[in-house]
C-alpha cells in the first residue's frame, strides 16, 4: 500500500462510444437534450479512477478490492480530467473533476479478509435475438427477472487498445494479462443493452466487489438480475445485480449497477 499523500491522475478524456447504439454519446443527439456534447461513458470515468486505486492498494485490490462510483455531471471528449485520491483510515476517497465541475465521486477499499476463489451454480440464460429485443420498460424489466447472459472474450489486441483508450499508465495489466476493471464494468452495461432496446440512456453509478482478477483470453459471462425500478425527478431508473463469471463457473466480480434507462429529457422530447 502507498503512503498517505494525496494521489492525482490527469487524463484527456476520450469518448469510446461516440458511434455506439446509445446516442447519449453522440454530439448532435446529446446537445438536443441540453448537454455540451456526447457524454464520455460512465464506465470509462470509473476506468480513469482505477490508477489511483492500484497506486494506493497495489495488485491486491484487483483480487480483493471494493469500489463505489457515483456519476454526477458529464465528462466530455477531449476535456482535461483530474482524478484526486485522498487516503483515509482504511480506504481511498476519489473525486473526478473536469471543466471546473465535480463530475464523479468514489470510494475504494480492500475487503476485511482475503477473498478465496469461489464457484457458483451458474446456468446460462439465452439472450433475445438482437433485432427483436423488447423496448426497455416496466414490462420488459420487471423486478426479479433474470436477464439473458452476455458473454465475451478479450484478446490481447483488444486489451492493448482499451488500455490506450482509457489512458491507463499502470504496466500491471499488460505485464500480468489482467483485464482492466473498466472493461469488466462495461460488461454490466452490455448485460442491460443486450437484453432490451434502449434509447439514449445514462449509467449513474455502480458498486463493485472484485473477487478474482479476470485474464486476457478467458470467456467472461455477465449474468444479471433486475433488483429495482423507480422514478425520480422524471427519470426512469433500473438497478441490476451482475455476476461476472469466468471459466469453470468461477465468480470474478459482483456489481450493483444503476442506470437511467429513460431520461426525463427523452420523455419530454417524445
Flag whether 124 is in a domain: yes
CATH, residue 162: 3.10.129.10
Flag whether 2 is in a domain: no
Flag whether 32 is in a domain: yes
SS3 243: strand
Q: Which residues pair with 262 in a beta bridge?
A: 236
Element (H, E) at 266: helix 264-269
The low-confidence residues of the chain, meaning pLDDT below 50, are none
- Which of these, 231, 227, 242, lies nearest to 264 by C-alpha position? 231
Which structural domain, as residue segments, surrounds residue 114? 7-269
Global pTM?
Answer: 0.94
Flag whether 264 is in a domain: yes
Pairing of strands 150-153, 7-12: unpaired
Flag whether 1 is in a domain: no
Q: pLDDT per residue over 70-114, tens digit each?
A: 999 999 999 999 999 999 989 999 999 999 999 999 999 998 765
At residue 121, the pLDDT reads 78
At residue 117, the pLDDT reads 62
Element (H, E) at 258: strand 251-262
Total structural domains within the chain: 1
- Which of these, 96, 73, 104, 93, lies nearest to 11 by C-alpha position? 96
Q: pLDDT per residue over 134-169, tens digit each?
A: 999 999 999 999 999 999 999 999 999 999 999 999
Flag whether 129 is in a domain: yes
At residue 157, the pLDDT reads 95
Flag whether 128 is in a domain: yes
Other beta carbons within 10 angstroms of residue 90's beta carbon come to 8
Flag whether 15 is in a domain: yes
Amino acid at each position: 500500500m502507498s503512503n498517505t499523500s494525496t494521489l492525482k491522475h490527469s487524463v484527456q478524456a476520450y469518448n469510446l462510444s461516440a458511434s455506439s447504439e446509445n446516442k447519449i454519446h453522440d454530439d448532435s443527439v446529446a446537445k438536443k437534450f441540453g448537454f455540451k456534447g456526447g457524454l464520455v461513458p460512465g464506465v470509462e470515468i470509473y476506468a480513469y479512477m482505477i490508477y489511483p486505486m492500484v497506486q494506493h492498494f497495489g495488485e491486491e485490490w484487483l483480487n480483493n478490492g471494493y469500489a463505489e462510483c457515483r456519476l454526477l455531471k458529464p465528462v466530455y471528449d477531449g476535456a482535461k480530467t483530474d482524478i484526486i485520491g485522498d487516503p483515509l483510515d482504511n480506504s481511498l476517497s476519489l473525486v473526478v473533476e473536469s471543466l471546473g465541475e465535480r463530475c464523479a465521486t468514489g470510494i475504494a477499499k480492500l475487503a476485511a479478509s482475503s477473498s478465496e476463489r469461489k464457484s457458483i451454480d451458474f446456468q446460462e440464460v439465452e439472450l433475445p435475438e438482437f433485432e427483436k429485443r423488447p423496448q426497455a420498460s416496466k414490462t420488459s424489466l420487471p423486478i426479479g427477472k433474470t436477464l439473458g447472459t452476455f458473454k465475451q472474450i478479450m484478446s490481447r489486441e483488444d486489451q492493448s487498445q482499451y488500455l490506450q483508450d482509457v489512458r491507463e499508465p499502470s504496466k500491471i495489466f499488460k505485464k500480468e494479462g489482467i483485464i482492466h476493471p473498466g472493461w469488466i464494468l462495461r460488461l454490466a452495461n452490455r448485460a442491460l443493452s443486450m437484453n432490451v432496446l434502449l434509447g439514449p440512456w445514462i449509467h449513474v453509478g455502480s458498486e463493485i466487489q472484485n473477487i478474482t482478477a479476470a485474464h486476457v483470453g478467458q470467456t467472461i459471462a455477465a449474468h444479471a438480475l433486475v433488483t429495482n425500478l423507480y422514478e425520480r425527478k422524471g427519470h426512469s431508473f433500473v438497478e441490476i445485480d451482475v455476476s461476472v463469471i469466468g471459466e469453470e463457473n468461477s465468480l470474478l466480480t459482483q456489481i450493483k449497477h444503476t442506470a437511467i434507462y429513460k431520461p426525463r429529457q427523452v420523455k419530454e422530447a417524445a
